[in-house]
Amino acid sequence: GENVEQHPSTLSVQEGDSAVIKCTYSDSASNYFPWYKQELGKRPQLIIDIRSNVGEKKDQRIAVTLNKTAKHFSLHITETQPEDSAVYFCAVSRPGATNKLIFGTGTLLAVQP
Amino acid sequence: DSGVTQTPKHLITATGQRVTLRCSPRSGDLSVYWYQQSLDQGLQFLIQYYNGEERAKGNILERFSAQQFPDLHSELNLSSLELGDSALYFCASSGGVGSLEQYFGPGTRLTVT
Protein backbone atom coordinates (compact mmCIF):
# COMPACT_ATOMS: atom_id res chain seq x y z
CA GLY A 1 0.00 0.00 0.00
CA GLU A 2 0.89 3.66 -0.09
CA ASN A 3 3.63 4.72 2.28
CA VAL A 4 4.48 8.29 3.26
CA GLU A 5 7.69 9.15 5.07
CA GLN A 6 8.08 12.52 6.75
CA HIS A 7 11.26 14.17 8.03
CA PRO A 8 12.33 15.52 10.39
CA SER A 9 10.18 14.33 13.27
CA THR A 10 11.11 17.41 15.30
CA LEU A 11 12.40 20.77 14.18
CA SER A 12 13.43 23.72 16.32
CA VAL A 13 14.12 27.11 14.73
CA GLN A 14 14.63 30.66 15.88
CA GLU A 15 11.90 33.16 15.23
CA GLY A 16 12.41 34.68 11.79
CA ASP A 17 14.26 31.67 10.40
CA SER A 18 12.90 29.37 7.71
CA ALA A 19 11.64 25.82 8.28
CA VAL A 20 11.50 23.01 5.74
CA ILE A 21 9.69 19.70 6.14
CA LYS A 22 10.00 16.95 3.55
CA CYS A 23 7.82 14.00 2.64
CA THR A 24 8.40 11.14 0.28
CA TYR A 25 5.74 8.80 -1.05
CA SER A 26 5.74 5.45 -2.76
CA ASP A 27 2.69 5.43 -5.07
CA SER A 28 3.53 7.19 -8.32
CA ALA A 29 -0.20 7.50 -9.08
CA SER A 30 -0.69 9.91 -6.16
CA ASN A 31 -1.90 13.26 -7.42
CA TYR A 32 -2.92 15.37 -4.43
CA PHE A 33 -0.60 16.54 -1.65
CA PRO A 34 -2.04 18.56 1.23
CA TRP A 35 -0.33 19.84 4.37
CA TYR A 36 -2.12 20.09 7.70
CA LYS A 37 -1.20 22.00 10.84
CA GLN A 38 -2.36 20.58 14.16
CA GLU A 39 -2.09 22.45 17.43
CA LEU A 40 -2.20 20.48 20.65
CA GLY A 41 -5.63 18.94 21.18
CA LYS A 42 -7.08 20.59 18.08
CA ARG A 43 -8.20 19.42 14.68
CA PRO A 44 -5.83 19.13 11.71
CA GLN A 45 -6.18 22.34 9.73
CA LEU A 46 -5.54 22.39 5.98
CA ILE A 47 -2.92 25.08 5.33
CA ILE A 48 -1.85 24.48 1.76
CA ASP A 49 -2.14 21.82 -0.92
CA ILE A 50 -0.76 21.07 -4.35
CA ARG A 51 -1.91 18.94 -7.22
CA SER A 52 0.36 16.85 -9.42
CA ASN A 53 0.15 19.16 -12.42
CA VAL A 54 1.83 21.97 -10.46
CA GLY A 55 5.42 22.16 -9.23
CA GLU A 56 5.13 24.90 -6.63
CA LYS A 57 2.43 26.82 -4.80
CA LYS A 58 2.78 29.77 -2.42
CA ASP A 59 0.48 31.37 0.09
CA GLN A 60 2.09 34.26 1.96
CA ARG A 61 4.78 32.76 4.21
CA ILE A 62 4.16 29.14 3.27
CA ALA A 63 4.95 27.26 0.10
CA VAL A 64 4.87 23.70 -1.11
CA THR A 65 7.10 22.23 -3.79
CA LEU A 66 6.53 18.95 -5.58
CA ASN A 67 9.02 16.75 -7.40
CA LYS A 68 6.97 14.00 -9.05
CA THR A 69 9.99 12.29 -10.56
CA ALA A 70 11.63 11.85 -7.17
CA LYS A 71 8.28 11.36 -5.44
CA HIS A 72 8.80 13.95 -2.78
CA PHE A 73 7.23 17.22 -1.73
CA SER A 74 8.20 19.79 0.84
CA LEU A 75 6.64 22.46 3.02
CA HIS A 76 8.54 25.72 3.37
CA ILE A 77 7.71 28.27 6.05
CA THR A 78 9.58 31.57 5.92
CA GLU A 79 9.92 34.23 8.62
CA THR A 80 8.68 31.81 11.25
CA GLN A 81 6.71 33.12 14.20
CA PRO A 82 5.96 31.52 17.59
CA GLU A 83 2.37 30.89 16.48
CA ASP A 84 3.73 28.59 13.76
CA SER A 85 4.65 26.14 16.52
CA ALA A 86 2.55 23.01 15.98
CA VAL A 87 2.67 19.52 14.48
CA TYR A 88 2.63 19.50 10.69
CA PHE A 89 1.40 16.53 8.69
CA CYS A 90 1.82 15.85 5.03
CA ALA A 91 -0.64 13.60 3.22
CA VAL A 92 -1.18 12.07 -0.19
CA SER A 93 -4.13 10.73 -2.11
CA ARG A 94 -4.51 9.14 -5.48
CA PRO A 95 -7.31 9.47 -8.02
CA GLY A 96 -10.06 6.92 -7.97
CA ALA A 97 -13.26 6.07 -6.22
CA THR A 98 -11.94 7.44 -2.96
CA ASN A 99 -9.82 10.43 -2.01
CA LYS A 100 -8.73 8.97 1.31
CA LEU A 101 -5.65 10.62 2.74
CA ILE A 102 -2.54 8.71 3.74
CA PHE A 103 -0.67 10.76 6.32
CA GLY A 104 2.96 11.13 7.18
CA THR A 105 4.07 10.69 10.76
CA GLY A 106 4.16 14.38 11.56
CA THR A 107 6.79 17.00 12.38
CA LEU A 108 6.77 18.90 15.66
CA LEU A 109 7.90 22.43 14.84
CA ALA A 110 9.02 24.63 17.70
CA VAL A 111 9.71 28.29 16.97
CA GLN A 112 11.85 29.83 19.69
CA PRO A 113 11.19 33.52 20.34
CA ASP B 1 -14.00 26.76 12.43
CA SER B 2 -14.10 24.24 9.57
CA GLY B 3 -17.88 23.89 9.50
CA VAL B 4 -17.62 20.21 10.42
CA THR B 5 -19.13 19.34 13.79
CA GLN B 6 -18.56 16.32 15.98
CA THR B 7 -20.16 15.14 19.18
CA PRO B 8 -19.36 14.37 21.88
CA LYS B 9 -16.04 16.15 22.50
CA HIS B 10 -14.98 13.67 25.14
CA LEU B 11 -16.10 10.16 25.95
CA ILE B 12 -14.92 8.01 28.83
CA THR B 13 -16.13 4.44 28.95
CA ALA B 14 -15.15 1.00 30.15
CA THR B 15 -13.74 -1.94 28.26
CA GLY B 16 -16.38 -4.05 26.55
CA GLN B 17 -18.77 -1.17 26.09
CA ARG B 18 -20.18 0.32 22.88
CA VAL B 19 -20.17 3.99 21.87
CA THR B 20 -21.43 6.07 18.98
CA LEU B 21 -19.62 9.09 17.61
CA ARG B 22 -21.48 11.58 15.48
CA CYS B 23 -20.33 13.85 12.67
CA SER B 24 -22.10 16.52 10.64
CA PRO B 25 -20.27 17.55 7.46
CA ARG B 26 -19.97 21.06 6.07
CA SER B 27 -23.08 22.27 4.33
CA GLY B 28 -23.16 20.83 0.82
CA ASP B 29 -20.37 18.28 1.35
CA LEU B 30 -21.29 14.76 0.29
CA SER B 31 -18.25 12.83 1.51
CA VAL B 32 -17.47 11.97 5.10
CA TYR B 33 -14.20 10.38 6.15
CA TRP B 34 -13.35 8.93 9.56
CA TYR B 35 -9.77 8.97 10.87
CA GLN B 36 -8.25 7.66 14.08
CA GLN B 37 -5.32 9.43 15.70
CA SER B 38 -3.31 7.61 18.32
CA LEU B 39 0.20 8.20 19.64
CA ASP B 40 1.63 5.00 18.19
CA GLN B 41 -0.31 4.82 14.89
CA GLY B 42 -0.58 8.47 13.89
CA LEU B 43 -3.49 9.58 11.71
CA GLN B 44 -5.08 6.56 10.07
CA PHE B 45 -7.97 6.42 7.61
CA LEU B 46 -10.84 4.24 8.79
CA ILE B 47 -13.75 4.56 6.36
CA GLN B 48 -15.38 6.87 3.83
CA TYR B 49 -18.99 7.47 2.87
CA TYR B 50 -20.21 9.35 -0.15
CA ASN B 51 -23.83 10.45 -0.34
CA GLY B 52 -24.97 7.62 1.90
CA GLU B 53 -22.90 4.85 0.35
CA GLU B 54 -19.74 3.29 1.71
CA ARG B 55 -16.93 4.26 -0.66
CA ALA B 56 -13.73 2.91 0.92
CA LYS B 57 -12.45 1.09 3.95
CA GLY B 58 -9.08 1.42 5.58
CA ASN B 59 -7.68 -0.37 8.59
CA ILE B 60 -11.02 -0.45 10.34
CA LEU B 61 -11.58 -3.19 12.87
CA GLU B 62 -14.57 -5.50 12.51
CA ARG B 63 -15.78 -4.20 15.89
CA PHE B 64 -16.17 -0.78 14.28
CA SER B 65 -18.89 0.20 11.85
CA ALA B 66 -20.24 3.39 10.35
CA GLN B 67 -23.11 4.75 8.34
CA GLN B 68 -24.16 7.94 6.63
CA PHE B 69 -27.76 9.03 6.86
CA PRO B 70 -29.98 10.76 4.27
CA ASP B 71 -29.24 14.15 5.87
CA LEU B 72 -25.52 13.31 5.29
CA HIS B 73 -24.51 13.18 8.92
CA SER B 74 -22.48 10.12 9.83
CA GLU B 75 -22.06 7.93 12.87
CA LEU B 76 -19.13 5.75 13.83
CA ASN B 77 -20.01 2.86 16.12
CA LEU B 78 -17.30 1.26 18.23
CA SER B 79 -18.15 -1.91 20.12
CA SER B 80 -16.46 -4.36 22.49
CA LEU B 81 -14.08 -1.55 23.34
CA GLU B 82 -10.52 -2.30 24.33
CA LEU B 83 -7.92 -0.12 26.04
CA GLY B 84 -6.12 0.23 22.72
CA ASP B 85 -9.14 1.92 21.17
CA SER B 86 -8.42 5.03 23.23
CA ALA B 87 -7.65 7.72 20.66
CA LEU B 88 -8.85 10.88 18.99
CA TYR B 89 -11.44 10.18 16.32
CA PHE B 90 -11.81 12.78 13.61
CA CYS B 91 -14.25 13.06 10.80
CA ALA B 92 -13.56 15.14 7.73
CA SER B 93 -15.78 16.17 4.88
CA SER B 94 -15.30 17.15 1.29
CA GLY B 95 -17.53 18.19 -1.58
CA GLY B 96 -18.60 16.37 -4.66
CA VAL B 97 -16.70 14.63 -7.44
CA GLY B 98 -13.36 16.32 -8.10
CA SER B 99 -13.25 18.04 -4.74
CA LEU B 100 -10.12 16.89 -2.96
CA GLU B 101 -9.83 19.22 0.03
CA GLN B 102 -10.83 17.62 3.31
CA TYR B 103 -11.86 19.71 6.30
CA PHE B 104 -11.65 18.17 9.73
CA GLY B 105 -14.01 18.41 12.63
CA PRO B 106 -12.82 19.09 16.21
CA GLY B 107 -12.63 15.38 17.02
CA THR B 108 -13.92 13.13 19.77
CA ARG B 109 -11.44 12.04 22.42
CA LEU B 110 -12.27 8.50 23.48
CA THR B 111 -10.80 7.12 26.68
CA VAL B 112 -11.39 3.45 27.45
CA THR B 113 -10.67 2.50 31.05
Contacts of B31 (CB under 8 A, 6+ apart): A99, B25, B48, B49, B50, B51, B55, B93, B94, B95, B96, B99
pLDDT at position A95: 74
**Which chain A residue is nearest to residue B105, measuring alpha carbons?**
A43
Q: What is the pLDDT of residues B37-64, one digit of tens each?
A: 998 778 999 999 999 999 999 989 999 9
Give the one of A97, A101, A105 whose C-beta lies nearest to B102's C-beta: A101
Give the one of B31, B42, B55 whose C-beta lies nearest to A106's C-beta: B42
Interface of B with A (CB under 8 A): 2, 31, 33, 35, 42-45, 48, 55-56, 58, 90, 92, 94, 100-107
Q: Which residues of A touch B56 (CB under 8 A)?
A: 97-98, 100
Q: What is the pLDDT of residues B54-91, one digit of tens each?
A: 999 998 999 999 999 999 999 999 999 999 999 999 99
Q: Which residues of B touch A42 (CB under 8 A)?
A: 106
Q: Report how many Cβ contacts below 8 Å link chain A to chain B.
A: 56
Q: What is the pLDDT of residues A5-62, one digit of tens each?
A: 999 999 999 999 999 999 999 998 899 999 999 999 899 999 999 998 889 999 999 9
* Of residues A55, A47, A53, the one with CA closest to residue A89: A47
**Residue A79's CB: how many other CB atoms inside 10 A?**
11
Q: Which residues of A touch B2 (CB under 8 A)?
A: 43, 45
Contacts of B82 (CB under 8 A, 6+ apart): B15, B112
Q: Which residues of A touch B102 (CB under 8 A)?
A: 34, 46, 99, 101
Distance CA A65, CA B99 (A): 21
Task: Give, for A14, the enclosing helix (H) or strand (E).
Answer: strand A10-14
